[in-house]
Structure 1
Amino acid sequence: MITLFQHQQQALDETEGKNRVAYYLDMGLGKTFVGSEKMMKLNKRINLVVCQCSKVQDWIEHFQDYYTRNCVFDLTNPKTFKWFFEQVQHEVPTLMIGVINYELTFRRNVLKTLTGFTLMLDESSLIQNENAKRSKFILGLKPDNVILLSGTPTGGKYENLWSQCQLLGWKISKELFWKQYIQTEWVETDGFWRQQITGYKNVDRLKMKLAEHGAVFMTTEQAGISLPKRNWIKVKTRPSPLYWKFWNDRYIAIDSANLGEFELDADFYGSNAHCERELIGDTSLTRRLYARQLCGLYNPARYEAFRDLVNSTEDRLIVFYNFTEEMERLKGIAKGLNRPVSVLSGEEKNLDAYRYQHNSITFIQYQAGAMGGNFQLANKIIYFSLPQGSELWEQSQKRIHRLGQERPCFYYLMICPGTVEEDILSTLEMRKDYTDELFRKYEQAATAPQSP
């Protein structure tokens, strides 16, 4: 028997009687418990939970610990997947909960044959692109009930809500959705004209319609929970000596010999310190990518600043990064300073040092760990490089700033002023403003329109 917090029960009460719901609760408010309790209330024999690969085992353990040990199936295992469907076909009356990751769903075509089931999507923002294979597949399923869970349902981009609206039963066309809620203008980029989003409109109406279709938005403050203060510290460095040459010429040949006064030491920075390659920014995307790397990955000053940060404290540190090569070099620094290391990436998950060593450094790749995981044993995050996605940026901050954290949280933002990084940060902050607006309670005006 689970005893819910008051705010969790409130979310359930607001969706009483609805069979298609979205719990857009701020990170750390316990969406897992709200979603699983709603699933039990819907009382379907067959239940399908879709989540990130790194969260499959967490969901399995959650259901085993709080509900049942015998009827939870790891559908990422082919043999277990086959056994699950044998039980489905034999119509065994027992409760069945299958857990699978997003990238495997569309590779398990037999899921399309499921009927009469409850579908729960953890981090439902991952189906925001309705043209992606996983999104198309999930939108083609035929569940009786739907539960969506996310702390950042749009990443500050309201156009990304359309797919989730479909699952909630709001059958507004994409064309009408854009017409009603998205502001655009035509701009020319690299000789091509494209439609650019400039803002949003009718936001209160959008929030009202979402509420009508079972969406609950809740911030930490609205839940009546007081978390410790968050403190931001910018760690400014110059970019690589090659940055401006690349930005102007869109080309640079790079190796450790032409990185200027900060020559990389292979013993100190790891085996990947010496690199010889060409960076060619022949498109706006590659130009931006390599400019970012010349601020971080190929910037010796950034590594020197990181070393100084690590030397300044013996506390646990969480470090967010983008590129594997960044992590390898940072690990070299950490090990050179005799600091225990944990890694959470697409290829590796080893959190022993984080759990058991008070002075550990945990390296987390945005895609693998920003959207899930509790790391409140630490209260300091270093952002070695910035992500491109607002939802990754917002969710990463909540890995330490959540229920159970009793100390002030410190965020060290490593950045090169006057570079592409400042543009990225500005965009991330703007998207956060849009996310915050969506979480504010809509004004229930008497004259509020009732159209789509």
Structure 2
Amino acid sequence: MITLFQHQQQALDLTEGHNRCAYYLDMGLGKTFVGSEKALTLNSRVNLLICQCSKVSDWIDHMVENYAMNHCWMIYDLTNKKEFDWFMAAVAETDNPTRICGVINYELTFRRKILKTLSGFTLMLDESSLIQNENAKRSKFILGLNPDNVILLSGTPTGGKYEKLWSQCRLLGWNISKELFWKQYIETEWVEEDGFWRQKITGYKNVDRLKKKLAEHGAVFMTTDDAGIDLPKRNFVPVRTPPAKEYWKFWRERAISINTATLQEFELDSDFWGSNESYERELIGDTSLTRRLYARQLCGLYNPNRYKAFRELVESTEDRLIVFYNFTEEMERMKGIVKGMNRPVSIQSGEVKDLGAYNFKSNSVTFIQYQAGARGGNFQKANKIIYFSLPESWELWEQSQKRIHRMGQERPCFYYWMICPGTVEESIFSTLQMRKDYNDELFRKYEDGHPKG
């Protein structure tokens, strides 16, 4: 049986009597245990658990270990077509008291249209922020389901953007229209960009009222400090380098042709990334989005100064290292550098999940693509993260930090974020810091009293 920590039991106590609730617990506080125990108390015969693709096997292992034996639940992997059919057959056996739980990933959910026929069930969303865009297919499908009970789990429910919370409010049973939600809580102005006028969000208002309404609808916000957990100190170390020499010309002219041979200007063997070949690439920033994208790549992907700084960081320690990156080509070049230094490598990306070196080699270097691994995974065997390039999503930035800074970590944590001063990366970092401020405000107690447990 599961033994909960005090803060986990407190979260459950705060939602006693709520059949729709959200556990917005700081990363590392054990939302998995709180959510599954809430599902147990709701006592639905049918349970549908939706999570990221990379977390399906973890959730199945958790449910099998703690509920299949102890509470006679039948657990189904709904990403497997045969098990999906078994699950639906079990759903149809209404006179069978055995409780069933199907686990499926977000991307597959809306392709299983028969799930729309479910009723009277408990719906649990892990990383519920993934339905923040109510116009996306997966969000529309999930919002169109008919559950009796809802459990939302997230450490970063808004990514620092309150406007992204509306779809989760809907699932919690707060029947406020999107228009009214924006009118009451979002501040905007109209700006012109690339010849088009658009509505730009400038800030937020009535935040205490928003937090109070969320609490009334079963939302629990809890930080590590609230939980009384004393985690090791976090240390942020900027690693500053110039951008690629072509950066400023590109920023002025919005177009440039580069030769990847320039990446071999510094003192590295040419086969460090597995190829002696070079090629021409034309970067054309004809819109604000493409200009920003290629400017970022000239700070990281196409920047020899950054690879040199990366090599020096890896050389500075024999400890396990976690490296977050955006683009596959970045990872391939870094992997070549690391292998040239005879360091073992692990990778977690959309295509590969090989953590053997991380688990068994104390000097390993593990490359994690933000989208594939920032939101989930326990990597507290390491206490050092290198950010080769910054994400534009604050949610991914914040969640990635928690991969090593969580319960079980006993050493101080170090975060080496690589940045080119005076470039677009400074703008990105400023935005990340702003989103953090908004998120922290959402987690603070509202002024006229927060439910106490």
TM-score normalised by structure 1 residue count: 0.97
Aligned counterpart in structure 1 of residue 156 of structure 2, from 135, 148, 152: 152
Report the equivalent of 1:122: 126
CA–CA separation in structure 1 for the residues paired with 2:138 and 2:153? 17
Tell me the equivalent position of 1:394.
398
Determine helix, strand or coil for the equivalent of 1:307: helix
The one-letter code of the counterpart of 2:412 is: P
C-alpha separation in 2, matches of 1:424 and 1:147: 33
The alignment status of 1:64 with 2:72, answered yes or no, reads: no
Query: What secondary structure is seen at the aligned counterpart in 2 of 1:269?
Result: coil
CA drift at 1:263: 8.3
Partner of residue 7, structure 2 = 7
Aligned equivalent of 1:83: 86
For 1:211-250, what per-residue CA distance to the aligned partner results, in whole angstroms no more than 9, with x for missing partners? 0000000000010001000001111111011111111111
Identity %: 77
Structure 1 distance, partners of 2:289, 2:57, is 35
Aligned to 1:38: 38
Any gaps of 5 or more consecutive residues in structure 2? Answer: none
- Residue 388 of structure 1 deviates from its aligned partner by 1.0
Matched residues in 2 for 1:260 and 1:270: separation?
12
RMSD of equivalent CA atoms:
1.4
**Does 1:98 pair with 2:99?**
no
**Separation of aligned partners in 2, 1:2 and 1:245:** 59
Asked if residue 47 in structure 1 is aligned to residue 47 in structure 2, the reply is yes
SS in 2 for 1:67: helix
Distance of 1:148 and 1:378 partners within structure 2: 29
Deviation of 1:80 after TM superposition, in Å, equals: 0.8
Aligned residues: 446
The one-letter amino acid of 1:66's match is N
**Corresponding residue for residue 449 of structure 1:** none
8 A Cα contact 2:262 2:304, kept in partner:
no
- Is the contact made by 2:134 and 2:167 (CA closer than 8 Å) also made in structure 1? yes
How far apart in 2 are the matches of 1:298 and 1:332?
15
Match of 1:404 in 2: 408
- Whether the 8 Å CA contact 2:22–2:152 is kept in 1: the answer is yes
How far the C-alpha of 1:270 sits from its partner, in A, is: 2.9
Choose the corresponding residue for 1:357, options 361, 381, 384.
Answer: 361
CA distance in 2, matches of 1:79, 1:266: 49
Partners of 2:242 and 2:329 lie apart in 1 by 20
Instruction: Output the amino acid matched with 1:104.
Output: L
Paired residue for 2:76? 73
> Which of 230, 243, 246 is matched with 1:242 structurally?
246
* Corresponding letter in the other structure for 2:356: D
Contact 1:269–1:332 under 8 Å retained in 2: yes
Q: 1:399 to 1:258 in 2, by over 3 A?
A: closer
Whether the 8 Å contact between 2:22 and 2:220 is mirrored in structure 1 is yes
Structure 1 distance, partners of 2:263, 2:330, is: 16
One-letter code aligned to 2:318: E
1:24 is matched by which residue type in structure 2? Answer: Y
Q: Pick one of 415, 419, 430 that aligns with 2:423.
A: 419
Q: Distance in 1 between matches of 2:41 and 2:265?
A: 64
Decide whether the 8 Å contact of 1:240 with 1:259 is kept in 2. Answer: no
* 2:275 is equivalent to residue 297 of structure 1: no
Look up the equivalent residue of 2:43 and give its one-letter code.
N
Query: For each residue in 1:109-137, what CA deviation from the matched residue of structure 2 results, as whole angstroms up to 9, or x when unmatched?
Result: 00000011000000000000000000000
Secondary structure in 2 matching 1:268: coil
The answer to whether structure 1 residue 338 and structure 2 residue 342 are counterparts is yes
TM-score (norm 2): 0.96
**Distance (whole Å) between structure 2 residues aligned to residue 434 and residue 256 of structure 1:** 40
Within a 5 Å distance, the mapping from 1:241-260 to structure 2 comes to 241-257=245-261
Equivalent positions of 1:305-344 (< 5 A) are 305-344=309-348
Q: Tell me if the contact between 2:261 and 2:279 (Cα under 8 Å) persists in the aligned partners.
A: no
Residue 274 of structure 1 corresponds to 278
Deviation at 1:261, TM superposition (A): 4.2
Query: Any conservation in 2 of the 1:272–1:329 contact (CA below 8 Å)?
Result: no
Q: Does 1:225 align with 2:229?
A: yes
CA distance in structure 1 between the partners assigned to 2:259 and 2:114 by the alignment: 50
CA deviation vs aligned residue, 1:67-101 (integer Å, no higher than 9, x gap): 11561100001111111101111223211010000
SS in 1 for 2:68: coil
Q: Which runs of 4+ in 1 moved over 6 A?
A: none
* C-alpha distance in structure 2 between counterparts of 1:273 and 1:371, whole Å: 36
- Structure 1 CA distance for aligned equivalents of residues 409 and 76 of structure 2: 32
Alignment-mate amino acid for residue 374 of structure 2: A
